[in-house]
Amino acid sequence: MNTDKDSRPIIELRELSKEFKTSSGPVKALEDINLSISRSEIFGIIGLSGAGKSTLVRCMNLLETPDSGKVVFDGKELSSLKAREQRLARQSMGMIFQQFNLLEQRNVIRNVLFPLELAKVPKKEAYSRAERLLELVGLSEKAKAYPSQLSGGQKQRVAIARAIAAEPKLLLCDEATSALDPDTTKSILALLKRINRELGITVIIITHEMRVIEAVCDRVAVIHNSRIVESGSVREVFSDPKSDIGRRLIGGAYMEVLSQEVRFTNA
């Protein structure tokens, strides 16, 4: 079990910028982004729609190629790696999405097996690992079910099991709870917290929901108009936001939560 936070960075973004060409002209999605995220922490990135959150997370694993700047993952600058080395680095980054992205023609356990097949993990080892992961996410009894037979929360649990099947060092969560109801969101966040604690996987949560950040994150960065406008511990940023957008996003919600002492407990 992972009980101590490791302060060494697992991923660093250095002067990262990204621009998209549109029919109306260039649109700057990211500008001069600098972030350092420690191993084994849960880090939140919060901002309004269109602030650049999803582009930022896609640049972390080079699904989007930054126009300038560097992504340093596990001590290696990704753009300097050869194609094979980049693929191996990506295997160390799991990712889950708002819409689950499960393969409808595959049952639950075969969805979890999919990345292991791509990695050519021996069949017996792959099945054993997939079964352990379904037990971890609480879906052992759904191994033979198909995505169409699952609830939204169950689909996200399958997506999480699949994302960590290749034993990544980093799990990227892009608005992963936005399509879920509050109770299901609570259970998914508790699961992410357990995965972080027990497996030592760094978790990065991209969201526009303050309750998600304050429930599980160690630190948070606020993004607005393509820039990081402030960052720090959740308590620091939420109790005394320095930016105008931080004050707008947070308002009095954090103090209300503090007064009610609402916190998610360990799963």
* pLDDT tens by residue, 176-224: 888 889 999 999 999 999 999 999 999 999 998 888 999 999 999 999 9
Within a 10 A sphere around the Cβ of 29, how many other Cβ atoms?
22
Please indicate, yes or no, whether the overall pTM of this predicted structure exceeds 0.85.
yes
List the helix and strand counts (H, then E) for the chain: 10, 10
One DSSP character per residue, 86-110 reads HHHHHHTEEEEETT----TTS-HHH
Distance CA 118, CA 165 (A): 11
> Between 250 and 89, where is the model more confident?
89
The confidence band for 6, taking pLDDT boundaries of 50, 70 and 90, is low
Within a 10 A sphere around the Cβ of 136, how many other Cβ atoms?
19
* pLDDT tens by residue, 126-179: 999 999 999 999 999 999 999 999 999 999 999 999 999 999 999 999 988 888
